Chains A and B, each alone.
Chain A
């Protein structure tokens, strides 16, 4: 009897941890790849992928190498179709995590309930260490990597309603913000939010996650201020890591004149090329516009086809 109790307790604890992690993993898995969720996300944010066919490469990056690179990228890497993606590190890690958790559960079940008395205590302890510490460590790594990877997706950013004006704008084919143009012209093939909102370099990912964590904290505590604004100076490295090597960038005299200020982030790229996202005024305006549209469409529905015809005739006269 004395022997039984701690084992049961241990087993329960292990089961709890394991099932919790498994649940989290399933959740993450579900979040990224379910076609249904992507579709519903696109409906909520009114993504009209067909309208992105019109390219503005000619008007903005006339003849620059950047345009060529990006145009090639456009044909090679289609976006917004998760099915066609190859295995990413995130996915490998996710599968590693899932396999590890399954193996850990199996080992625990086996050594606890079937082979408990048949193996020597040393092997028992080693297997216990493996399934309680080593495999969960892999699970932990896999989970972190998956979380890091999945939170890069636009869906992940857009899952919070504070981001609605920005995500809506991203998918608005007529919008002229930098974000929308990079999206519709497929200048950034995927992770469109994350690509511009991490800092390239040693601390980059940390800074990106720090901001993400802070946003999450502000969100759950309900302590953010509207209209939200970018805090601090935007790191130009986010732009220059793609653009600085191109002819189109280097030919501009203003870039050369401001090079030291741009490097020190004393002048932001968006100072001239912005706005990156709708300005606070435009965010309000777009919400108003949506309301008007909704109201007018609902009013339209009330008019029957006959009534509509008579109205058209009256207009013709």
Chain B
């Protein structure tokens, strides 16, 4: 202080330093006043400066250094987001106004800003030693994995190892894993969680149109006059697509909304016509609606004449045969099967067929049942027969559940029966094409389809599959009838790469690899409407975590298949993949990393870099792959250009209700949580959102002596789980509902692993159960 005073004084009295030093021992009154006034002025100016911004302009609550274009981590809506970074951390996430979601996000989308920093992130590799998972080095873990995989391949053949992937991996990752296993190791044991959610839709589209993925896009929502939402609780599971549908109703209040669901969901609350059918009876409903189309003359004769063929199983049939099959499905008969009134069916059929443009939405309610493929085909048939297709607003649109199930898994063919771009393992021509494109010797790709999800875990249990790599998914919670598959995890050597530990699956793993997630790695996602879009790599992975891509490439090197990936980066893999796509009708060669980084995604087909992307496939003037420009539609995926109408009968339930199991159980989700809650349950804001409830109809509650809030045990022939009773008349009598989110209340101990005969997708939506007070 005195030194400072000296300086001040010297400045003031430069000519008399001596007198000055004589004069002052401490602080003079004058100096004190000066310092005081100076500091006061300083404080005043300082406060003015710091508050200046607010005086002039409103300031953001969260300080952000830079904004980056990205994509939400969660559902298949695939909302465009802006990621706000500060000091190398993600601090804010908001909707991208330029993307299809118009800047909107649901609560999960907003909380993307927290997911990287929640507890229980997997930080280092772990190896199970003496029954316990212990910390290990990457080298040790990868060496162990490589040696166990090579050992099994050598001793028991390539089909003794498997890959179980996820619709949450980037396209480059799924593609590389698929290539490593099918073209390197030589096994088709590549499947993943999309089998549990999308398989029926994929088989539906492929069998009807010849090629997978919807032909319409979100923009159709803005033009539809009637929405047919069946087996989808869009308001909770795809809230942002739902908002767009609501927008259409807001701008055109005459828009009619039909909802088919056994529960009066939040979606159904907004319906103009709500068909609360019994679970698993929708095939009868669709057949009956088609019957009504014919009866009312709503069938589009031009479509039947020029663009459609009829099929029963693998035999083609005539339209007359198809119509005579429909005779069994008069609205009266169907009404008794579905548990609704015949008048409701007639009204629904009239509205569907008569509106200027009808758009259907569906998800798990359709896909997750043993007649999932049949239901998918029939909804598509309803559109084809009434001509509600290929016009703005007229399209059958399947919603996906994961951020990259479509582009990552379905299009790359990372499924046991498939090869890239709609090719099939069973087809020798397709195998040969892929062998050429992948530049591997002829005969490398095995002609035997691999194990699909359920059968894969059964094979792990029986010992047929000895080693498995599970990435970015939590099957030991999400598979149906989960108890036997826990043993499978113990019998086989299982490597789990996940961003979180513990999960139900890592608990049973032999090796746990910490994986980077979302913005800790960059890559391409593709959502429901065929839109490829890019997630940027913005932050360093937590702990020792690596991207799934690095793990796959490392494993390829150690198994001696490094030459399959001559260029090591993800960008090179994308280059390779988009060029391969040009050899198919899934052509997106024009979608480069560069373009994706500069705009919120592009819809394929997109054959060259100047092409803006395609909203409606098979439509001349829109789809660049259409050959006949004068036609109304061109289903170029089919050899004869005609889409197929399949004949399907309403089947019997695989499991009957009886005195011991008198009720039906169906499963679903809530808006705030996602899938097995691996991420969302760990976000602070979502911890109080309950997912442990069982919805029971008041009559059933009275019958079993249940009060709201009582603990209740649900039991099926396979297992039981406990929930908290929630009494509501939004559910049909005789039906109970639980979410599959909670790991503590595992509904999948109860559900059945019976699968659809075509898609091999399990039926989560209907099983016979009993309930009792716990």
Q: Is there an interface contact between A62 and B672, defined as CB atoms closer than 8 Å?
A: no
* Contact A254-B97, Cβ < 8 Å, known A271-B105, A272-B107: no
* Contact A266-B61, Cβ < 8 Å, known A181-B250, A257-B672: yes
- Cβ of A75 within 8 Å of any chain B Cβ, yes or no, is no
Q: Is there an interface contact between B672 and A254, defined as CB atoms closer than 8 Å?
A: yes
Q: Is there an interface contact between B97 and A271, defined as CB atoms closer than 8 Å?
A: no
- Cβ of B732 within 8 Å of any chain A Cβ, yes or no, is no
Residues from chain A with a CB closer than 8 A to the CB of B672 are 253-254, 257
Q: Is there an interface contact between A211 and B250, defined as CB atoms closer than 8 Å?
A: no
Q: Is there an interface contact between A256 and B688, defined as CB atoms closer than 8 Å?
A: yes
Q: How many residues of A contact B (CB 8 A)?
A: 42
- CA of A253 to CA of B94, assembled, Å: 20
Interface stretch, picked from A18-26, A32-40, A273-281, A301-309, is A273-281
A–B Cβ pairs within 8 angstroms, 19 of them: A56-B253, A59-B253, A59-B270, A176-B247, A207-B58, A211-B58, A231-B57, A233-B61, A257-B672, A258-B110, A258-B685, A266-B62, A266-B92, A272-B104, A272-B239, A273-B104, A279-B103, A280-B97, A280-B98
Q: Which of A175, A235, A257 interacts with B107 by CB under 8 Å?
A: A257
Q: Interface of A with B (CB < 8 Å)? A: 54-56, 59-60, 62, 173-176, 181, 207, 210-211, 214, 230-233, 235, 253-254, 256-258, 260-261, 264-268, 270-275, 279-282
Residues from chain B with a CB closer than 8 A to the CB of A235 are 58
Q: Is there an interface contact between A232 and B94, defined as CB atoms closer than 8 Å?
A: no
Q: Is there an interface contact between A281 and B686, defined as CB atoms closer than 8 Å?
A: no
Q: Is there an interface contact between A271 and B95, defined as CB atoms closer than 8 Å?
A: yes
Q: Select from chain B the residue with minimum beta-carbon distance to A227.
A: B97
With A211-B57, A254-B107, A271-B95 known, 10 other A-B pairs at CB within 8 A are: A56-B250, A59-B270, A214-B57, A230-B58, A233-B62, A254-B106, A258-B107, A258-B110, A267-B110, A274-B95
Q: Which of A174, A253, A264 interacts with B252 by CB under 8 Å?
A: A174
Residues from chain B with a CB closer than 8 A to the CB of A280 are 97-98
Q: Is there an interface contact between B671 and A275, defined as CB atoms closer than 8 Å?
A: no
- Cβ of B59 within 8 Å of any chain A Cβ, yes or no, is yes
Residues from chain B with a CB closer than 8 A to the CB of A279 are 97-98, 102-103
Q: Is there an interface contact between B251 and A174, defined as CB atoms closer than 8 Å?
A: yes
- CA of A38 to CA of B671, assembled, Å: 45
Q: Is there an interface contact between B106 and A272, defined as CB atoms closer than 8 Å?
A: yes
Q: Is there an interface contact between A232 and B671, defined as CB atoms closer than 8 Å?
A: no
- CA of A273 to CA of B107, assembled, Å: 11
Q: Is there an interface contact between B688 and A257, defined as CB atoms closer than 8 Å?
A: yes
Q: Select from chain B the residue with minimum beta-carbon distance to A276.
A: B103
- CA of A59 to CA of B269, assembled, Å: 9
Nearest CB on A from B432, distance (A)? 45
Q: Is there an interface contact between A257 and B104, defined as CB atoms closer than 8 Å?
A: no
- Cβ of B570 within 8 Å of any chain A Cβ, yes or no, is no
- Cβ of B60 within 8 Å of any chain A Cβ, yes or no, is yes
Residues from chain A with a CB closer than 8 A to the CB of B103 are 270-271, 274-275, 279
- Cβ of B55 within 8 Å of any chain A Cβ, yes or no, is yes
Residues from chain A with a CB closer than 8 A to the CB of B239 are 272
- CA of A230 to CA of B61, assembled, Å: 13
Residues from chain A with a CB closer than 8 A to the CB of B247 are 176
Residues from chain A with a CB closer than 8 A to the CB of B688 are 256-257
Q: Select from chain A the residue with minimum beta-carbon distance to B59.
A: A232
Q: Interface of B with A (CB < 8 Å)? A: 55-62, 92, 94-95, 97-98, 102-107, 110, 239, 246-247, 249-253, 269-270, 670-672, 685-686, 688-689
Q: Is there an interface contact between B250 and A60, defined as CB atoms closer than 8 Å?
A: yes
- CA of A99 to CA of B671, assembled, Å: 60
A-B pairs, top 6 by smallest CB distance, nearest first, are A232-B58, A279-B97, A176-B247, A174-B251, A233-B61, A254-B107
* Contact A253-B671, Cβ < 8 Å, known A174-B252, A279-B102: yes
Q: Is there an interface contact between B685 and A264, defined as CB atoms closer than 8 Å?
A: no
Q: Is there an interface contact between A214 and B250, defined as CB atoms closer than 8 Å?
A: no
Q: Is there an interface contact between A271 and B102, defined as CB atoms closer than 8 Å?
A: no
Residues from chain A with a CB closer than 8 A to the CB of B102 are 274-275, 279, 282
Nearest CB on B from A54, distance (A)? 5
* Contact A233-B60, Cβ < 8 Å, known A271-B104, A279-B98: yes
Nearest CB on A from B257, distance (A)? 9
Residues from chain B with a CB closer than 8 A to the CB of A210 are 55-56
Residues from chain B with a CB closer than 8 A to the CB of A176 are 247, 250-251
Residues from chain B with a CB closer than 8 A to the CB of A275 are 97, 102-104
Q: Select from chain A the residue with minimum beta-carbon distance to B91.
A: A266
- CA of A275 to CA of B240, assembled, Å: 12
Q: Select from chain A the residue with minimum beta-carbon distance to B98.
A: A281
Nearest CB on B from A285, distance (A)? 12
Q: Is there an interface contact between A253 and B689, defined as CB atoms closer than 8 Å?
A: yes
Residues from chain A with a CB closer than 8 A to the CB of B246 are 59-60
Q: Select from chain A the residue with minimum beta-carbon distance to B96.
A: A279
Q: Is there an interface contact between A257 and B270, defined as CB atoms closer than 8 Å?
A: no
Residues from chain A with a CB closer than 8 A to the CB of B56 are 210, 214
Q: Is there an interface contact between A257 and B98, defined as CB atoms closer than 8 Å?
A: no
Residues from chain B with a CB closer than 8 A to the CB of A265 are 61
* Contact A59-B250, Cβ < 8 Å, known A271-B104, A271-B110, A280-B97: yes
- CA of A56 to CA of B250, assembled, Å: 6
- CA of A173 to CA of B266, assembled, Å: 26
Nearest CB on B from A165, distance (A)? 13
Residues from chain B with a CB closer than 8 A to the CB of A233 are 58-62
- CA of A7 to CA of B94, assembled, Å: 66
Residues from chain A with a CB closer than 8 A to the CB of B55 are 210
Residues from chain B with a CB closer than 8 A to the CB of A230 are 58
Nearest CB on A from B48, distance (A)? 15
- CA of A97 to CA of B392, assembled, Å: 59
* Contact A232-B110, Cβ < 8 Å, known A56-B249, A254-B671: no
Q: Which of B106, B107, B253, B670 interacts with A54 by CB under 8 Å?
A: B253
Residues from chain A with a CB closer than 8 A to the CB of B95 are 271, 274
Q: Is there an interface contact between A62 and B269, defined as CB atoms closer than 8 Å?
A: yes
Nearest CB on A from B226, distance (A)? 15
Q: Is there an interface contact between B97 and A281, defined as CB atoms closer than 8 Å?
A: yes
Residues from chain A with a CB closer than 8 A to the CB of B269 are 62
Q: Select from chain A the residue with minimum beta-carbon distance to B246.
A: A59
* Contact A257-B685, Cβ < 8 Å, known A174-B251, A271-B95, A275-B103: yes
Q: Is there an interface contact between B270 and A62, defined as CB atoms closer than 8 Å?
A: yes
Q: Is there an interface contact between A272 and B105, defined as CB atoms closer than 8 Å?
A: yes
Residues from chain B with a CB closer than 8 A to the CB of A175 are 251
Nearest CB on B from A142, distance (A)? 27
Residues from chain B with a CB closer than 8 A to the CB of A55 are 253
Nearest CB on B from A214, distance (A)? 6
